Amino acid sequence: MPPPPREDAPERYPIVITGLVNQFGEQRVHDNLELKVRRGEILGVVGGSGTGKSVLMRTIIGLQQPAEGNVEVFGRSITQAEPDEQIGVRDRWGVLFQGGALFSTLTVGENVQVPLKQFYPEIDKQLLAEIARYKVLLSGLPEEAVNKFPAELSGGMKKRAGLARALALDPELLFLDEPTAGLDPIGAARFDQLTRELQETLGLTVFLITHDLDTLYAICDRVAVLADKKVIAVGTIPELLETEHPWIQEYFNGPRGRAAADQKGGKGPSRSRSQFKAMDKRAKRRA
Ligand SMILES: Nc1ncnc2c1ncn2[C@@H]1O[C@H](COP(=O)(O)OP(=O)(O)O)[C@@H](O)[C@H]1O
Ligand SMILES: [Mg+2]
């Protein structure tokens, strides 16, 4: 009989973070942070402003060298590799940075081509254009968007263009840093739906930083909470509600948290509970 897979095997946990310390001068942002992301889940990452959510994402993708600790992605250590060292995993993720960060002098199509050119410099022009067009459509943008410049797009369309670029390399892992910030509620809900659809059809694992309680309820399988320089809890929202931590209680049980839960599950508490159950089920399915 083959041995059972290691508890933290990369097939189960594409991201494993241990003992992470990030520090800027005197300011310690992360202190002995631990986190494991399950394969195929949408993990919501929440925390107050400045708690280090974006720094955590940058550390996972190797843009930020931590002071201590280890980050493994698909079983390869990112922290022990040089930023430009070939370790065979950097083309297996896609990133939508906070604010979108499209190149303003490039069209949407050209923006999507950037990572393709970086990893596959030999691809011919026509194929590049074809792949870019396909990713733009996949992200729910109309065909004409391919030749538009970022300044010609609405906020929601810019986010989709950023998503198209993040999907350029057919990633297994998708990082989204506050993708619905600045969108109106309808635009945000549509973007959430798109994220869920892409996650399901493409089999993605999604690391989703958000402030948006509606997003957490609507599409996240589990939620990781950053506070006190650590991930203080990770679980489904019902599981998180069982912890006593004041930030968690205030966040989910404050007026906005309740409104999001009610909106999602209908009016009465019983409907909210059924929503919780659906979330629990989703998380168990992926466990
Ligand atoms: N390159 C940097 N140099 C110095 N300080 C930084 C740098 N990047 C982030 N920080 C600081 O680290 C903290 C966490 O930042 P960030 O991860 O952006 O927070 P958020 O949770 O809002 O995404 C902030 O106090 C920020 O000022
Ligand atoms: Mg941030």
Rounded average pLDDT over 240-257? 89
Identify the residue whose C-alpha is closest to ligand 1 atom 19.
50
Give the position, in ligand 1's atom list, of the atom nearest the Cα of 209: 23
Ion ligand 2: residues, CB < 5 A: 53-54, 98
Is the Cβ atom of 211 under 6 angstroms away from ligand 1?
no
pLDDT band at 10 (very low <50, low <70, confident <90, very high): confident
**Spacing, Cα 229 to ligand 1 middle (Å):** 12
Residues 40-99: tens digit of each pLDDT: 999 999 999 999 999 999 999 999 999 999 999 999 999 888 877 777 888 899 999 988
Distances (CA, A) of 250 to 43, 106, 245, 256, 260: 20, 43, 9, 9, 13
**How many other C-beta atoms can be found within 10 angstroms of the C-beta atom of residue 96?**
25
Q: What is the mean pLDDT of residues 171-188?
A: 94
Q: Is the dihedral of CA 193, 197, 200, 206 positive or negative?
A: negative
Give the orientation angle of helix 108-119 with respect to helix 125-138, to 10 degrees. 120
Nearest CA to ligand 1 atom 5: 24
pTM of the model: 0.90
Residue 208 CA to ligand 1 center (angstroms) comes to 17
Ligand 1 pocket, residue 26 CB under 6 Å: no
Distance 109 CA to ligand 1 centre (A): 31
Task: Please work out whether the CB of residue 58 comes within 6 Å of at least one atom of ligand 1.
Answer: no
More confident residue, 90 or 161: 161
Could you tell me the two tokens for 221?
């399988």
User: Considering Cα of 156, then 60, then 278, then 242, what sign does the dihedral take?
Assistant: negative
Which amino acid residue places its CA nearest to atom 26 of ligand 1? 50
Cα-to-chain-centroid distance, residue 184: 20
Whether 35 contacts 7, CB under 8 Å: no
Substitution site in 31, 55, 251 for ligand 1 pocket (most atoms within 8 Å of beta carbon)? 55
Q: Whose CA is nearest to atom 9 of ligand 1?
A: 55
Residue 68 Cα to ligand 1 middle (Å): 17
- Of 276 and 35, the structure prediction assigns the larger pLDDT to 35
- Of ligand 1's atoms, which has the minimum distance to the CA of residue 25? 4
Ligand 1 near 46 CB (within 6 A): no
206: alpha, beta or left? (left if phi > 0; alpha if psi -120 to 50): beta
- pLDDT at position 256: 81
For the chain, what is the mean pLDDT? 89
The closest of 174, 27, 18 to 92, measured between CA atoms, is: 174
- Judged against a pLDDT cut of 80, whether residue 182 lies above it is answered with yes
